[in-house]
Amino acid sequence: MADTVKILHVVGGTVRGGTSTWLVDLLRHIDRERFCFDFLIPSTKPGCHDNEICALGGKIFRCPLWPKPWEFWLRFRRILRENGPYSVVHSHPLGITGYVMRLAAHEGVPMRIAHAHSAPDGRGDGLSRFCYQMLMKRWIDKYATVGLGVSKEANRAIFGASWKGDPRCRVFHCSIDLPSFGQLPDSTKTRRALGIPQDALVVGHVGRFVSAKNHAFWVEVAREVVQRHPDPWFMLVGDGKLRPMIEQKVRALGLRDRFIFTGLRRDVPALMAAMDTFLFPSYWEGLGLALVEAQTAGLRCVTSDSVPVEASVIPAHVTRLSLTAGAPTWAEAVLNAATLPCPDRAMVWNIVAASPFVIHRCIRDLCDIYSNVSGKHIH
């Protein structure tokens, strides 16, 4: 174990979905004799992946950032000194990565990775928020040694418009669990379990109930689809703080009997197999991995042009629209997609298998990065 590279991942939580699920998937497949993953969480909340992380040899450190960020610094320093030495600190939460990079540099960690998973959120910046973001970016510029972004847009947002000219910055896509899409179950059983008629049109979505996902507009599109199709059903997979508000909107529009709210699920590929089309009208995305999964499941997709184009792995199966086009136009696109023939499964599999989104390619590239520990700064 003397040659093991120890990596401390700083991640927002260990809940199902997003960055934490991707990291756990990496931990399952990576050579754990060569690479040790530990996790630092800037909160006290437990997560659904905690037991598996520990079973796979990883440690979890809960280190709340707020309301006393100076205590976070003291705990962070103690974690590094008592559990290291760490060769790499790999930080994922955009809001604190600059601070993490600064602290890791002061503790002498040789490789400090700032990983951008988000594109600009489009929200108006108050003065305090603007100043905070500028400080984080400045610290990333000064203290990070590697800059990764899940898309070109994510890189541009964090590392600036000239990121391509910096050899330490690169696009690094997250991966999907491709084998789980290899033998998709027949939709009959899944639809029966959910109470959906076998011959219904099912429009689906997978994602957290947060503002970026634009669920309110999703429901507006659903209302337009109901007015144009005799038997549509709608499946929303996921959970989040905005779910009660969206459920209330569905009830107010008289659509509750046509909506399925599944909550958090482990069987996302099976749920996608029960859909006919995938509707993804996000305001912004770092990449939009759910869109990649939907294409892998053989779905025709309708997405906003705010989603990075890299997520359109099979462009012929993806319709990109502006959110300014309005719900009626989006509904027509959904119905048009539903009339197209089902994609050939073998063709879909081969295209996705050759893409950057498969786990073995992701692990190979990440291991190459970790094995090249250096102390060079981004700037």
Q: What is the CATH number of the domain that holds 66?
A: 3.40.50.2000
Q: In this structure, are 169 and 27 located in the same domain?
A: yes
pLDDT value at residue 124: 54
**Nearest 5°: phi and psi at 188?**
-60, -50
Domain for residue 376, yes or no? no
Assess whether 185 and 72 both reside in one domain.
no
Domain coverage including residue 233: 178-353
Q: What span, in angstroms and rounded, lies between the C-alpha atoms of 367 and 35?
A: 8
160 lies in the same domain as 75: yes
205 and 167 assigned to the same domain: no
Identify whether 111 is part of a domain: yes
Alpha carbon distance 160, 147 (integer Å): 11
User: Which residue numbers in the chain have pLDDT < 70?
Assistant: 1-2, 120-125, 374-379
What's the pLDDT score for residue 69? 81
User: Residue 131 has what pLDDT?
Assistant: 85
Same domain, 215 and 147: no
Looking at residue 348, its pLDDT comes to 94
At 121 the pLDDT is: 56
The pTM (predicted TM-score) of the whole model is 0.90
Are 135 and 191 members of one domain? no
Backbone dihedral angles phi then psi of residue 127, each to the nearest 5 degrees: -60, -45
Whether 102 and 193 map to the same domain: the answer is no
Please give the pLDDT value at position 213.
96
* Predicted pLDDT of residue 66: 80
Q: Please indicate, yes or no, whether residues 191 and 334 belong to a single structural domain of this protein.
A: yes
Q: Is-contact 228 234, C-beta < 8 A?
A: no
In this structure, the answer to whether residues 320 and 364 fall within a common structural domain is: no
User: Mind listing the pLDDT tens digit for each residue in 91-147?
Assistant: 998 889 999 999 999 999 999 999 999 876 555 567 877 788 888 899 999 999 999
Question: Domain total for the chain?
Answer: 2
Instruction: Determine, yes or no, domain membership for 377.
Output: no
Task: Work out the number of other CB atoms within 10 angstroms of the CB of residue 318.
Answer: 22
Tell me the pLDDT tens digit for each residue of 20-47: 889 999 999 999 999 999 999 998 888 8
